[in-house]
Structure 1
Amino acid sequence: MRQRGSGAGLRQESLPDKIHRYRGVIVVFSVPLLLVSFVLLLMPSYPAGPIAPVGRKTAPGGGGDAGSKSYAVIFDAGSSGSRVHVYCFDKNLDLVHIGEEIELFVQKKPGLSSFAKEPQEAANSLIPLLQKAESVVPPELRQRTPVRVGATAGLRALGNEKSEQILQAVKNLLQDKSSLKFQPDWVTVLDGTQEGAFQWVTINYLLGKLGKTYSDTVGVVDLGGGSVQMAYAISEKAAAEAPQISNGEESYVRKLLLKGTTYYLYVHSYLHYGLLAARAEILKVGDGDSNCILDGYHGSYKYGDKEFPASAAPSGASFSKCRSDTIKALKANEPTCTHMKCTFGGVWNGGGGDGQKNLFVASFFFDRAAEAGFVDPKQAVAKVKPSDFEEAASRACKLNAKDVKGAYPLVSEDNIPYLCMDLVYQYTLLVDGFGVEPHQVITLVKKVEYGDAYVEAAWPLGSAIEAASSA
């Protein structure tokens, strides 16, 4: 038996000798490897990166595949006009572009309520908007795209019979002429709290606030033509202590689950206190002549199917007298409050709190501020104070109607006689109605920046989010 030694006396085995000694093992392992390599060589090659599923196309610009997109078409049938919004969402419910725009937005005047005696004409007024909306929805997605019509305060003010006739005509139109997904109960008169809640969801969604604590959200005041809504998130404790409503109206508090977070939303809508409706309420206070109509104007004001005398008082408009009339119209000083804190007309104010401290104010507030010249109409948002409306009103009330265009070139012809009234009303609504401090900074908002685009700060987006979530 040979003994192993050490050092240089050991013979080193060469590579050929090793190959020869293990040739059987090498053959066993090499044959399968050669077969696998041969199969891989015959397989077609694919480009690097994600592979689109069969039957779906990847959207240009990295927008994801078309099958993951969903659309929603929402009609806002307001008192001053009809508007259509079309939104496109990805699978995460984030907005994506429709062509070059983040949404389709088209509007048309007058509103449905202007056709109180012609329901078919009311429905027909939506046809151009419907055609435009359908044109931007891909044909293969139209039958899956919900179309909803939300009528607001203008139709609410007409009463049940007339509003139902108009709504039925709109339902028939969508049933017969639309290629979109439609259900009759998707055409409805929104109650004010729905409108206010959707508006709150819209603005907080666009600001990226949803999913955060209620104190990180913003409060919203939305001044439409027929009604005004206030909505803001409150604590669970404050929600539990909310007064009960016994006259059949909607509850003050709505519970919402959004992005995994539960919110208790204080929301109330004041019918007859939108800007156009409030003009009628203020004109009722006078005896024919009004302290709020600009000097030199004599005429009448039509709201809905009623007309009101609208002529200047002999001495012209007066800021202080107009403000007194406006407070009476708001019922701001009437002792009807049965709760600890009220806004006006005996309505609970929600108790205040962190959800209200950052206030976003939308719709006609922005429009009149732009016409009065203290915000830039080309900007989407503006920081102002209620006192800015007071100062603008004080100047406007001194004018003669024929001099308004020279002083305020952006005011439309229809609004000239009511410039003093509108600005006084907006200041009074904020300060005496909602209890906002005159020098508190608030944000006037027309559109909200969202990524590289701006989106209309309007309730239809909130409705679209709900529709897309349940589609």
Structure 2
Amino acid sequence: MDEPKGAKLCKRFHPKYAAMGFLLIVAIIALITVAVTQNSSATKNRKYGIVLDAGSSHTNLYIYEWPAEKENDTGVVQQVHVCEVDGPGISGYADRVGEVGVPLRHCMDKAKELVPKEKHPETPVYLGATAGMRLLRLENENTAKKVLSAVEETLRSYPFRFQGARILTGEEEGAYGWITINYLLGNFKESIWPKFLPRIFFRTGTIGALDLGGASTQITFVPDQETLESPADTANFSLYGKQYTVYTHSFLCYGKDQALWLKLLQDVLESSSSRIRDPCFHQGYERTLNISNLCKSPCTAPNITLPCSSQLQIEGAGDYEMCLTSIEKIFNTVHCPYSSCSFNGVFLPPVSGDFGAFSAFYYVMNFLNATKKPMDQVIEEVKNFCSKPWNQVKAEFPKVKEKYLSEYCFSATYIFSLLSQRYNFTKEKWQGIHFLGKIGSSDAGWTLGYMLNLTNMIPAEQSYTQPLSQSSYITLMAICSILVVCLLVIGYVSYRKPKCLKKDVI
């Protein structure tokens, strides 16, 4: 049987297939070229940095890593490991200074394993001590110096490039936390999120930082008003060619642990008995407090009226409303020499925009599963938790340490009081608070910002840039990929259903 007319022509190599094949090859080459050019030097050489966060209640060691060729580019520094040091914060070794370096060795030994041996001599190590050591320095400056010296002696014994141990000011702690979260979110330079798509997390521009530790709390943000009434609460940064005027203030003695001491002191002053009924602890909970603890802290010692050798018996009542009322008494809101204040006569411009709340802000709210809930639901969660009997709470959370578990009611109520009443986050503004544990692989906190500042990795002027911006890179990759897929689909369809056969076969 003769072949259908036109079949021979169909078998021949049609020019349009040659054109499609050529375009396909060009698209694939372009895809590979863009990818290789953009990332050619990304992994050739790695650098490392180690920062120890010596907080009031514990110490954490962080290891950071970044490509040496792009060390000035936003978002390239990543946290690769965190190690929690056993025991209390270094300020807890005031009575046994010789032991302060021992628990650090486990985490430092781990750092030796994780950082390549050839990188040890060039890897910087920093230790920053925060509010716990600030309080110890107020209590006994000589002891604080001895603690830091003992820590330095331990850290110098390792093969890294030790860069010193120092006590950060509260304002530095707040500012470095602000730098960290905005650096990780890409807010100082162009974000990797394409401009033509809506941002799904934060609005454009920088966001504020809310930090809560055991002995202090910090608030830092770029206010709407250009001139701030309190120069002492102002910090200026030049980051990637842009000027930032930041409001930052640290409230020493108003971290969650010291705030609890302040509240208990207020209870002691108001009570004529050595036994008090505390609404911030669960019903059925009991604790014996040595007054000596209040006598030691510079936050409470000046107002102690009871003998330091006496004891205070605490019995839980589990009442959120009464707890909130008792917490309000630790803030002085009577005197304000400015147009607006937070508390204790401290200037606070109106809060606006998005805020990242981390450290204890996040841990407490995450425990209550309230990190993404509106203000009304947060209040209900705290109320319900505080009203539960102590035995029920222990049964629901058997793996949580009793000290932490017993204080979540107070901590959550304190957080709500601080944010809503003292910082003036209204119901609408509360929606702008994002409780952050991590951003990507890195913890939200001051340590990364501290290292970036000390290693000059955030320059004043625009530094090295890649051949393409991230948005252009993503766009080109998408176009080339779509073109490759389309050409393959068209070629497949054309091969399976030739038009010439459809026209000529009778």
Q: Normalised by the size of structure 2, how large is the TM-score?
A: 0.69
Partner of 1:292: 280
Instruction: Write the deviation string for residues 236-291 of structure 1: whole angstroms up to 9, x where unpaired.
Output: x62x34324xxxxxx20111111221111111111111111111111112135122
Residue pair 1:371, 1:410 contacting (<8 A) in 2 also: no
- Highest CA radius of gyration, 1 or 2? 1
| Distance of aligned partners of 1:116 and 1:447 in 2 relative to their CA distance in 1, 3 Å threshold | same
* Alpha-carbon shift at residue 153 of structure 1 (Å): 1.0
Mapped contact 2:42–2:70 kept (Cα < 8 A)? no
If asked which structure has higher relative contact order (CA below 8 Å, sep 6+), I would say 2
- Equivalent in the alignment of 2:220: 231
Decide which of 182, 185, 197 is 1:207's aligned counterpart. Answer: 185
The separation in 1 between residues aligned to 2:457 and 2:186, in whole angstroms, is 21
Instruction: Indicate yes or no: 2:438 matched with 1:447.
Output: yes
SS in 2 for 1:128: helix
Counting only pairs closer than 5 Å after superposition, residues 254-269 of structure 1 correspond to structure 2 as 254-269=235-250
Q: For residues 383 and 343 of structure 1, what CA distance do their matches in structure 2 show? A: 25
CA apart distance, 1:339: 0.5
Offset of 1:152 from its aligned partner?
0.8
Deviation of the 1:61 alpha carbon: 9.7
> Corresponding residue for 2:451?
464
TM-score of the aligned structures, taking structure 1 as reference length: 0.74
Which residue number corresponds to residue 428 of structure 1?
417
Distance 1:387 1:153, change over 3 A: farther
Distance 1:156-1:241 versus aligned 2 partners, 3 A rule: closer
Change (3 A) 1:138 1:202: same
Contact 1:390/1:423, CA 8 A, preserved across alignment: no
1:54-453 equivalences in 2 (<5 Å): 63-66=42-45, 69-90=46-67, 91-93=69-71, 94=73, 102-109=79-86, 110-159=88-137, 160-175=141-156, 177-183=157-163, 186-211=164-189, 216-234=205-223, 238=226, 240-244=227-231, 251-287=232-268, 288-289=275-276, 290-301=278-289, 309=312, 311-312=314-315, 316-331=317-332, 334-352=333-351, 356-372=352-368, 374-375=369-370, 382-407=371-396, 411-439=400-428, 440-441=430-431, 442-449=433-440
> Which residue is 1:38 aligned to?
none
CA contact (8 A) 1:209 1:216 kept: yes
CA RMSD of aligned residues (A): 2.9
- 1:45-84 superposed Cα distances (whole Å, 9 cap, x missing partner): xxx99xxxxxxxxxx9963322xx3321100001121101
* Partner amino acid, structure 1, of 2:363: D
Question: 1:336-367, CA deviations, whole angstroms, 9 ceiling, x for partnerless residues?
Answer: 11100111111111343xxx411111111221
Q: Choose between structure 1 and 2: higher helix proportion.
A: 2
Report Cα offsets for 1:203-227 as digits up to 9, x if no partner.
0011110147997111111111111
Q: Deviations over 1:375-406 (max 9, x none)?
A: 4xxxxxx4333444422221122222122133
Going from structure 1 to structure 2, the CA distance change for 1:309 and 1:392 (only over 3 Å counts) comes to farther
Runs of 4+ in structure 1 deviating by more than 4 angstroms, as ranges, are 94-98, 212-215, 301-308, 407-411
TM-aligned CA distance change 1:339 to 1:195, over 3 Å: same
Letter in 2 for 1:64: T
Residues of 2 paired with 1:322 and 1:349: CA distance?
25
Q: Distance in 2 between matches of 1:359 and 1:182?
A: 34
Aligned counterparts of 1:121 and 1:386: Cα–Cα separation in 2: 45
Rounded Cα–Cα distance in structure 2 between residues aligned with 1:224 and 1:338: 27
Contact 1:389 1:426 in 2 (8 A): no
CA distance in 2, matches of 1:385, 1:119: 46
Residue 142 of structure 1: CA displacement? Answer: 2.0
SS of residue paired to 1:182: strand
How far apart are the structure 2 equivalents of 1:133 and 1:310? 44
Distance 1:325 1:272 in 2: 17
Q: Which runs of 5+ in 2 are unaligned?
A: 1-31, 34-38, 192-202, 269-274, 298-307, 459-506
Closer, same or farther: CA 409–361 of 1 in aligned 2, 3 Å: farther
